[in-house]
Amino acid sequence: MKKIIIAFDGRHFSEGALNMAAWLNEKQTILVTGIFLSPIDYREMIGYHDTGLNLPVTFISTDLDQEEIDSNISRFEEWCEKKELEYRVHKDAELYAIPELITETRFADMLILSSELFYENLGKQQPNEYMRSILHQSECPILLVPEKHHPPENLVIAYDGKPSSVHAIKLFCQLLPELCGLSTLLVTAGENNPDVPDMDRITELLTRHFPTIEIRSLIGETRRSLGRWIACRPGSLLITGAYARRQLFESFKESFATKIIREHNIPVFIAHT
């Protein structure tokens, strides 16, 4: 049984994340832990800067914040009981947010986040600063999920020859082997070099785990058209490598995976070393 955590920040309740958890539970039983965070990281208001964020903060903790958090906890509990999901509740709503969530990821197999609602109050254009912080620092893989999505019917694996992309693929196989039987497409890209490294090795590895894998090279495709191409596959789940501080592995950058996240098209599995 895997432990999967779902983070809810203050005012936002993600049915998309819960629906994904329920779908995964149908494939293999999981423990779902709801993490309920404050509407803002109040360290920013008292001089702490553990996350490296320097955002203008105008929010003040109120009784209304607490009421909304308690309401979300009740909704989560009722939802899990209705779906017969084993669940736990962790509440860190007094003062803290991001550092506590990062600690929680250390003790989880995977984190599910809403790619639309996570700290939406800080900025609707995702990934906002808080989401980027989690993507940079999480100690487990993250599955970013749109609020409205199709249950995955096929997988798209982004491979550029870098160790981070191989690491993400292996973690996906370890965590979600029940999904490896889905129709799978390995997308290779090397912007200036048409010879993506170690194709024979990655093919040898992937054919052991993904029985229906197809390989497609997108050399010559623009990043924008690549993002559109994947977005037009509504039943897809994208597997991609590390979300580095300045880029999401070099071949795909902002206009690829970040564009997918920003436009909330499909679930995205992200892991880093």
DSSP tag of 51: T
- Considering the domain architecture, whether residues 203 and 140 belong to the same structural domain is answered as no
Task: Tell me which of 232 and 48 has the higher pLDDT.
Answer: 232
pLDDT value at 101 more than 70 = yes
DSSP tag of 124: S
Neighbour-count burial of 94, counting CB atoms closer than 10 A to its CB (0-12 exposed, 13-18 middle, 19+ buried):
exposed
Mean pLDDT of 68-89: 93
Q: pLDDT tens across 109-155, in order?
A: 999 999 888 887 776 677 788 888 888 899 999 999 999 888 999 99
Separation between Cα atoms, residue 126 and residue 124, nearest integer Å:
6
Q: Of the spans 48-52, 103-107, 212-216, which averages the highest pLDDT?
A: 103-107
55 and 43 Cβ atoms separated by less than 8 Å: no
Mean pLDDT of 98-115: 93
Task: Tell me which of 205 and 133 has the higher pLDDT.
Answer: 205
Place of tokens 């600063």: 129
Mean pLDDT of 61-69: 70
- Considering the domain architecture, whether residues 135 and 22 belong to the same structural domain is answered as yes
- Considering the domain architecture, whether residues 92 and 160 belong to the same structural domain is answered as no
- Considering the domain architecture, whether residues 107 and 163 belong to the same structural domain is answered as no
- Considering the domain architecture, whether residues 263 and 165 belong to the same structural domain is answered as yes
pLDDT of 205: 95
How many Cβ atoms from other residues are within 10 Å of residue 78's Cβ?
A: 10
Mean pLDDT of 75-104: 86
Q: What is the pTM of this model?
A: 0.84
CATH number at residue 74: 3.40.50.620
- Considering the domain architecture, whether residues 210 and 162 belong to the same structural domain is answered as yes
Number of domains, the chain: 2
pLDDT of 155: 94
CATH number at residue 257: 3.40.50.12370
Among 102, 122, 145, give the residue marking a domain's end: 145
Q: pLDDT tens across 240-258, in order?
A: 886 554 444 444 445 456 7
- Considering the domain architecture, whether residues 173 and 238 belong to the same structural domain is answered as yes
pLDDT of 191: 52
Among 122, 145, 168, give the residue marking a domain's end: 145
pLDDT of 59: 45
Domain carrying residue 67: 2-145
Q: pLDDT tens across 174-184, in order?
A: 999 999 999 99
